[in-house]
Amino acid sequence: MSETLANLSSETRQFPPPEQLAADANVKADAYDEAAADRLAFWAKQAERLTWAKKWEQILDWSNPPFAKWFVGGELNIAYNCVDRHVEAGRGDKVAIHWEGEPGDTRTITYAELLKLVSQAANTLTDLGIGAGDRVAIYMPMIPEAAVAMLACARIGATHSVVFGGFSVDALATRIKDADAKLVITADGGYRRGKPSALKPTVDEAVAQSPSIENVLVVRRTGQEVAWTGKDKWWHETVEQASPEHKAQAFDSEHPLFILYTSGTTGKPKGILHTTGGYLTQTSYTHNAVFDLKPETDVYWCTADIGWVTGHSYIVYGPLSNGATQVMYEGTPDTPGRDRFWQIVDKYKVSLLYTAPTLIRTMMKWGDDIPAGYDLSSLRVLGSVGEPINPEAWMWYRENIGRNRTPIVDTWWQTETGAVMISPLPGVTATKPGSAMTALPGITADVVDDQAQSVPNGGGGFLVLRDPWPSMLRTIWGDDKRFIDTYWSRFGAGAGSSDEGWIYFAGDGAKKDDDGAIWLLGRVDDVMLVSGHNISTTEVESALVSHPSVAEAAVVGATDPTTGQAIVAFVIPRGNVDTSGDAGEQLNVDLRNHVAKTLGPIAKPRQIMLVPELPKTRSGKIMRRLLKDVAEHRSLGDVTTLQDSAVMDLISAGMKTTK
């Protein structure tokens, strides 16, 4: 981006919070004033939500930026905070996890049972020679043992590194080696799309390349045949036989809790490091504030996978530290039928639902009549995370799932931020479809131009965070220089100017509307430069999705001899749309005109490809980089984080038949 990002769309709809919800809300409007008056005191108050073995001496040490220390000198145990203290307070019989396996098997785990499992697993890890500071790789399906494994590591001070259960041998081996992990915790497999899907063979191959691994702990989930090596131990022969007595020891507030790798667009994956006290403070606070969690009555469900940061912060650490009752689901949303999600909401009377735009758009594509067949009246707050949510998908979510009653919280954050940073508060904010609205209390977000100057309302540019926050990443594992270069060297003091503070560069484009609400516009690497205008992928995609024939869209800028870059769109038509022959040609023309009419002629795509699928990561983000390779007729770059590699063949085949 040379200057600022064009602001092409406008939105006038607005939805105030329901009156009763606003009156009963955990967090009210005064939280913003309180945090603005004294940000550090505000976060210290939130840290009091946790049980500390030793209180901190200093709230924030920022004397060596950008390396932050929060709650300096404090000591606590994360697992104690997520499990033991609820049992000690007499809530041992409360359900922690309603687990739903894909084939329909279920487990109900109370906090007392969770304490037993975590204690047994902690004892087993200790027996296997794992101690504080050691790294443990976790490569699991969505079963309760995944959460138990994470909590057991936290309990003994081992640093976990969860790797998505769908990643390849290479991806797993690279992550094991980068962190020098001593143990892998895995399973024989998990259920996906109605079938057992094996995990153990991938682990076997990765471990063969990774001399640091001493043991492999294997949960039996599917019962499928597995090869057995000298390093393997069954979970049911170790953990389930271990003593359920384990006393949690407190660790320093800055003790490393986990590493989670993000791929980024180039280079080797970055091991994002999170620590203890600040991370738990902010995940716990935001889970309570953003979802208005009432632990006694709410049933919460986050549909993310544990291998994504959303699973770490909003399945494991946030909800459990708050003593929530939650649903955890193993499988895919269309197994056995496309109504599985709504069946689960109805069955468990889910009141707080947290999911991703990619799923919402998929549900839109499948049709309104599917959710319409279910009683969704238990729902109270709906959340979205992972990508910008197009206004059209937001409205569909509100009308068809929230039945025009429930607030939507569009939560912007990253693996690096650890917890939600920008989001409405459900009892306070009048929301706008497609906007994450404003920074949460205690957070300072801004949109700046390339000189780090705040853009006026109505302007667009780069999203930045101006002040350190408790759950911020502490570094990139083993690479402090890359940490500084990637996040702190674009603007402010990190870029060498002495008169500006340290400014965190998020890598996202954003704009402020006339009221100062923030609209996320996609990764800055994806911004298209068309005839001298910086155009965001998000705005063009949202314009396409607002056409009744379109289910999903992804746009990229492809090199063009006249305009520098030209907009190329990949569009999935809705199920009932005729795309054969002339009808397809006509749709193509209509869609290009629709975008020109909605956003202006500058945003009119040069070319539209009708495709059956889009390439996505396992967390549902569209991989525009691969589409750009297709649009520019190059061979494909790194596809290791692609959810389904057959998709690219479908798209390339489609290219030959459409203009």
Smallest distance, Å, CB 332 to ligand 6R9?
A: 19
Calculate the CA dihedral of residues 193, 196, 201, 204 and round it to 10 degrees: 110
Tell me which of 58, 212, 224, 262 binds ligand 6R9, using CB under 6 A. Answer: 262
Which of these segments, 14-22, 39-47, 86-94, 406-414, binds ligand 6R9 (CB under 6 A)?
406-414
Q: Which of residues 520-539 bind ligand 6R9 (CB under 6 A)?
A: 520, 523
**By C-beta, is 264 or 654 nearer to ligand 6R9?**
264
Which of these segments, 56-64, 165-173, 503-511, 549-557, binds ligand 6R9 (CB under 6 A)?
503-511
Q: What is the DSSP string of 197-227?
A: EE-HHHHHHHHHT-TT--EEEEE-SS-----
**By C-beta, is 179 or 290 nearer to ligand 6R9?**
290
Tell whether residue 587 is a contact of ligand 6R9 (CB under 6 A): no
Tell me which of 322, 534, 619, 641 binds ligand 6R9, using CB under 6 A. Answer: 619
The values of phi and psi at residue 352, to 5°, are -125, 120
Instruction: Specify burial of residue 311 (Cβ count, 10 A radius: 0-12, 13-18, 19+).
Output: buried
Tell me which of 15, 251, 366, 413 binds ligand 6R9, using CB under 6 A. Answer: 413
Tokens of residue 59, six digits: 């709230």
Smallest distance, Å, CB 608 to ligand 6R9?
A: 24
Query: H or E segment at 192?
Result: strand 189-192
Q: Where are the beta strands (DSSP E) in 424-512?
A: 445-448, 460-465, 475-476, 504-512
| 39: three-class secondary structure by DSSP | helix
Tell whether residue 7 is a contact of ligand 6R9 (CB under 6 A): no
Tell whether residue 388 is a contact of ligand 6R9 (CB under 6 A): yes
The strand pairing partners of 511, in sequence order, are 460, 519
The strand pairing partners of 504, in sequence order, are 465
The strand pairing partners of 72, in sequence order, are 58
Distance of alpha carbon 92 from alpha carbon 88, whole angstroms? 7
Cis bond leading into 470, ω under 30°? no
Distance of alpha carbon 104 from alpha carbon 330, whole angstroms? 10
Tell whether residue 303 is a contact of ligand 6R9 (CB under 6 A): no
Q: Which of residues 420-459 bind ligand 6R9 (CB under 6 A)?
A: 436
Tell whether residue 385 is a contact of ligand 6R9 (CB under 6 A): yes
Which of these segments, 99-107, 115-123, 405-413, 599-607, binds ligand 6R9 (CB under 6 A)?
405-413
Tell whether residue 305 is a contact of ligand 6R9 (CB under 6 A): no
Q: How many CA atoms lie within 13 A of 171 on its CB side?
A: 23
Assess contact for 301 and 350: CB atoms under 8 A. Answer: yes
Binding-site entries for CoA: 192-195, 310, 531
Assess contact for 469 and 442: CB atoms under 8 A. Answer: yes
Total chain residues near ligand 6R9 (CB under 6 A): 21
Smallest distance, Å, CB 522 to ligand 6R9?
A: 6
Smallest distance, Å, CB 527 to ligand 6R9?
A: 12
Binding mask 310-349 for ligand 6R9 (x = CB under 6 A): x---------------------------------------
Tell whether residue 508 is a contact of ligand 6R9 (CB under 6 A): yes
| Binding region for ligand 6R9 (CB under 6 A) | 262, 308-310, 385-388, 410-415, 436, 506-508, 520, 523, 619
